[in-house]
Amino acid sequence: MLYALSVHASNRYAYAFRDRGFGGYDRTPCPSCGREIATPFPRTAPRAYEVEGGARYPDFLEFTGVPVGDFVCSARVIDLFREAEISGLGEIESVPVFRVKGAKAEPVYQFASIIGRVELDLPAMKLKKKNLCPACGRFAWSRERLYTIPAALDMDTWSGHDLCRVGDFPAMTVCSERVAEVIRKHRLTGAEMGQIADMFRAF
Ligand SMILES: [Zn+2]
């Protein structure tokens, strides 16, 4: 059983809105289809987040900036995941956070890459890729308003990891029951486990 793992800050929690070291995008039209290809410029500085929002720091820190999908959590989460032998985490990097206003000392978070993978079950969702460009790989979805479509995962494509990214949606994370147990047992804050069907609605 997999859950949609969503990290959304409530009013009481801080969230990160910018990575100071992100260098922006080079935007060039694809010579074949004309759609804009955004390629990140090299980083200008090591990863560092600017935060705003509530005064409290949650265990899972929402990141609303670009590029989308940074998975950011406290060192305690990483320790608990390791203790429980949770799989699917790749490289982990300590990242300082800064309040734009106020000079209080802030915590250090952990940026983690997620190496587990699972694909959507497009036929079950009556969803197709169309206008696929052979040069740049960009495509359009056959339906609009994806948030109205109950999501489904193709479990034959599941890498078997406890933490996975969902194909074509780099900001979406799914987790196993084992991850859910760690989050519930230790009352880790900032993340919620939802039904896969509701994945786009919660997104
Ligand atoms: Zn193209």
Q: CA 99, CA 129: separation in Å to the nearest integer?
A: 41
- Distance (angstroms) between ligand 1 centre and the Cα of 122 equals 22
- Distance (angstroms) between ligand 1 centre and the Cα of 39 equals 13
Structural domain that includes position 31: 2-202
Structure tokens at 114: 């997620």
Q: CA 17, CA 44: separation in Å to the nearest integer?
A: 17
- Distance (angstroms) between ligand 1 centre and the Cα of 134 equals 7
What is the reported pTM? 0.93
- Distance (angstroms) between ligand 1 centre and the Cα of 136 equals 4
Q: CA 61, CA 189: separation in Å to the nearest integer?
A: 9
Give the chain's domain count: 1
- Distance (angstroms) between ligand 1 centre and the Cα of 37 equals 8
Give the residue from 133, 136, 121 showing the smallest Cα distance to 196.
121
pLDDT digits (tens, 9 = 90+) for 4-60: 999 987 889 999 999 999 999 999 999 999 999 999 999 999 999 999 999 899 999
**Tokens 């995008």 belong to which residue?**
25
pLDDT digits (tens, 9 = 90+) for 144-180: 888 899 999 999 999 999 999 999 888 899 999 999 9
Q: Are 113 and 104 in contact (CB under 8 A)?
A: no
* 203: pLDDT strictly greater than 70: no
Q: Are 63 and 72 in contact (CB under 8 A)?
A: yes
Q: Are 49 and 20 in contact (CB under 8 A)?
A: yes
- Distance (angstroms) between ligand 1 centre and the Cα of 28 equals 10
